[in-house]
């Protein structure tokens, strides 16, 4: 039996006998980070006793497509497949507001999204103009998958983000109120390629947007990419009661450039009453290599959450 099989076996035994020390209920993973197909994703989750998935890519061969784009029938089938395997959805990862804010010049973009939208025939102007229609689409998709949480962004990064945060707050306030009225919550991800990346920028947005329809999808690694100190300095600036999902990357778990003290981060969040998930976003290469690293990441996350 390999080391990985031993670890998986020990986890399964702990879950089966209901050990209170096993805190895997706090763990989740983005679906396409742990499998190349839905079946592979489910097998990974079962191996480690994960009960929650964050849904991003539709995992259709040769069709880079987000779950938000799937027709209702496909979403129902996907939900049934997950439910039949004891899995639930914690967040729908949308592409909402990964575009330029009108009248601004972007100094950072992610080419994956630029190419993705280009293939769909969508321009920045269209993505902004149709944002409320796209929000309705994502609310319908989230409902079909059984989650009330929808991940969103804060527009492509400009030279001086502080100068446009009030405009971004106005957009997010409107969308958050619509989501809240419909029984949903938008989770704004701090992302280094957007205007809301550092801890200070994130804190300022939440100071301006008071709607209960807006929560935080906190990614410490993303703020570290902007030379921020995400923990403990950055964490101290954030509204703790509005953090509803947390991303964990391989870089933070293992380095080599910017490793983070994830054990301390997890303990601090749980001490402060965090009830969301620590969701694995490996982000280390493509295809099989990323899946391989995902196993290493999940093993370490299980160790840290139970320490």
pLDDT tens-digit readout, 50-106: 999 999 999 998 888 999 999 999 999 999 999 999 999 999 999 999 999 999 999
Examine the pLDDT at 1 and tell me if it is beyond 60: no
- Could you count the other beta carbons within 10 Å of the beta carbon of residue 87? 20
> Closest Cα to residue 216, out of 301, 149, 155?
149
CB 59 within 8 A of CB 22: no
CA angle 120, 291, 252 (to 5 degrees): 95
Examine the pLDDT at 199 and tell me if it is beyond 90: yes
Average pLDDT, the chain: 94
Q: Please state whether the predicted TM-score (pTM) of the whole model is above 0.85.
A: yes
> Closest Cα to residue 189, out of 236, 226, 152, 138?
152
Enumerate residues 6+ apart whose C-beta is below 8 A from 296.
250, 254
Percentage, residues of the chain above pLDDT 90: 90
Residue 21, pLDDT score? 41
CATH no. of 20-305: 3.20.20.150
pLDDT tens-digit readout, 90-133: 999 999 999 999 999 999 999 999 999 999 999 999 999 999 99
Residue 150, pLDDT score? 99
Examine the pLDDT at 202 and tell me if it is beyond 90: yes
- Report residue 190's pLDDT band, with 50, 70 and 90 as the boundaries: very high
> Closest Cα to residue 26, out of 214, 280, 241, 238?
280
Residue 12, pLDDT score? 55
CB 51 within 8 A of CB 23: no
Token pair 């920028």 in the structure block, residue:
201
Percentage, residues of the chain above pLDDT 70: 93
d(CA 98, CA 110): 9
Examine the pLDDT at 151 and tell me if it is beyond 70: yes
Examine the pLDDT at 7 and tell me if it is beyond 80: no
Residue 15, pLDDT score? 52
Enumerate residues 6+ apart whose C-beta is below 8 A from 106.
100, 156, 157, 158
Enumerate residues 6+ apart whose C-beta is below 8 A from 32.
41, 56, 57, 59
Examine the pLDDT at 17 and tell me if it is beyond 80: no
């Amino acid at each position: 039996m390999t080391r990985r099989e031993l670890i998986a076996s020990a986890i399964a035994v702990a879950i089966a006998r209901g050990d209170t020390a096993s805190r895997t209920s706090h763990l989740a993973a983005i679906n396409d980070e742990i499998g190349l197909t839905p079946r592979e994703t489910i097998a990974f989750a079962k191996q480690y006793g994960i009960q929650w998935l964050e849904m991003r890519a539709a995992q259709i061969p040769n069709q880079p497509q987000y779950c938000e784009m799937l027709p209702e029938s496909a979403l129902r089938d996907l939900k049934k497949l997950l439910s039949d395997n004891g899995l639930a959805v914690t967040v729908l990862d949308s592409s909402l507001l990964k575009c330029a804010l009108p009248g601004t010049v972007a100094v950072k973009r992610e080419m994956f999204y630029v190419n993705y939208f280009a293939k769909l025939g969508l321009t920045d102007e269209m993505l902004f103009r149709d944002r409320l229609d796209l929000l309705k689409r994502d609310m319908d998709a989230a409902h079909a998958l059984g989650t009330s949480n929808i991940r969103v962004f804060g527009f492509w990064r400009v030279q001086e983000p502080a100068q446009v945060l009030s405009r971004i707050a106005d957009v997010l306030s409107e969308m958050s109120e619509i989501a809240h009225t419909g029984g949903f919550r938008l989770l704004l991800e701090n992302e280094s390629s957007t205007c809301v990346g550092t801890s200070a920028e994130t804190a300022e947005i939440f100071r301006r947007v008071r709607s209960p329809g807006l929560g935080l999808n906190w990614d410490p690694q993303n703020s570290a990419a902007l030379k921020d100190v995400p923990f403990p300095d950055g964490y101290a600036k954030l509204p703790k009661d509005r953090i509803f999902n947390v991303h964990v990357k391989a870089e933070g778990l293992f380095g080599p450039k910017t490793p983070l003290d994830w054990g301390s981060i997890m303990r601090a969040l749980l001490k402060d009453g965090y009830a969301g998930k620590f969701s694995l976003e490996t982000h280390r290469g493509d295809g099989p290599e990323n899946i391989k690293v995902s196993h290493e990441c999940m093993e370490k996350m299980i160790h840290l959450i139970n320490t």
